[in-house]
Amino acid sequence: MEPNWEEFYANQPKPMDLETSKKLLKDFVENCADKDTRIALVTSGGTTVPLEHNTVRFVDNFSAGTRGSISTEFFLEQGYAVIFIHRTKSLEPFSRHFIGQKFLDMLEFDEGKGKLMVSEKYSESVAHVLMKYKSALKQGKLLQLSFTTLSDYLWLLRSASQALAPLEKRVILYLAAAVADFYVPSNQMSVHKIGSDVGPPKIALQLVPKILKPLVNLWVPKAFVVSFKLETDENLLITKSRAALKNYNHKLVIGNMLQNRKQQVTIVEKNRDYTISLTPEQMDQGEEIEKYIISDLVKRHSEFLTATETS
């Protein structure tokens, strides 16, 4: 039997900071009241599935938040306001450019003047990214909220969707987070660290309810919803993506393969599909596929807005 989403919310405790997040969401959405503002809700990174309440161990996945953080920058570039919901410590827009760099090597301190500066070598690149970041914040165009567990993610997703619902068709949901399919329900989880003294533990994972169903049908029925489908077997990508479209009745599925997700994606609609890819030369030049994905989606969102203007 398919797991029930209402039961999930009835049994999984809310994140402690949900009320604070709801207030931030409310204020952010009010700021986007202007009829011309379009908003993207971008989800990013993987969810954890804790095995214990006092969590020592958890199940996790590979997602680094690359897709979501880059896409957020391109949505902002296209004039969208963005709510970026990401896994704690996964990549974030703008700051991602400096991950892997030695932070302290980028700085210099002038003891005489008591002044801290960015080294000459880095100042142009830092200034370039910093200006974009500060401008997004100043214009009230970027809100970042974070989650760690599957349960936190699903609570936050619901609150964000509900906050955005009044903006109707102006909203695009871009669900790039790698969400766990299996979890241990709160009432079945060990309170303390699972010991090894009684032999190998038997951990029964249960199916996570398909949240796209209430999301598309109840929470944001007018929004332009785009989900992602991740596969490792190429033969399944299109059929599974199309099955998701049929099941949830949203606008688009972006299919991607774990192995080449930075180079190629397939946009799947009910009656057609097409590929967006980077050439090896574009890859070498450091181009990012998200630029082309977002530009395509923005076009599609515009067409959708025009086509439904009177409804």
The residues binding ligand 9Z3 (CB under 6 A) are 63-67, 175-176, 178-179, 227-230, 256, 261
Distances (CA, A) of 134 to 77, 93, 114, 130, 140: 13, 12, 25, 6, 10
> Residue 59 Cβ, how far from ligand 9Z3 at the closest point, in Å?
14
Nearer CB in complex with ligand 9Z3: 156/179:
179
Nearer CB in complex with ligand 9Z3: 49/178:
178
Segment holding 258, helix H or strand E: none
Nearer CB in complex with ligand 9Z3: 21/63:
63
For residue 52, what is the DSSP state? Answer: B
Nearer CB in complex with ligand 9Z3: 50/65:
65
In 3D, which of 187, 186, 183 has the Cα closest to residue 206? 183
> Residue 121 Cβ, how far from ligand 9Z3 at the closest point, in Å?
28
Q: Are strands 264-268 and 115-118 parallel, antiparallel or unpaired?
A: unpaired
> Residue 96 Cβ, how far from ligand 9Z3 at the closest point, in Å?
11
> Residue 62 Cβ, how far from ligand 9Z3 at the closest point, in Å?
6
Q: Report helix, strand or coil for 275.
A: strand
Distances (CA, A) of 107 to 96, 139, 207: 17, 28, 48
> Residue 309 Cβ, how far from ligand 9Z3 at the closest point, in Å?
30
Nearer CB in complex with ligand 9Z3: 29/245:
245
Which residue in the shown chain puts its C-beta closest to ligand 9Z3?
Answer: 66
Structure tokens at 209: 């309810």
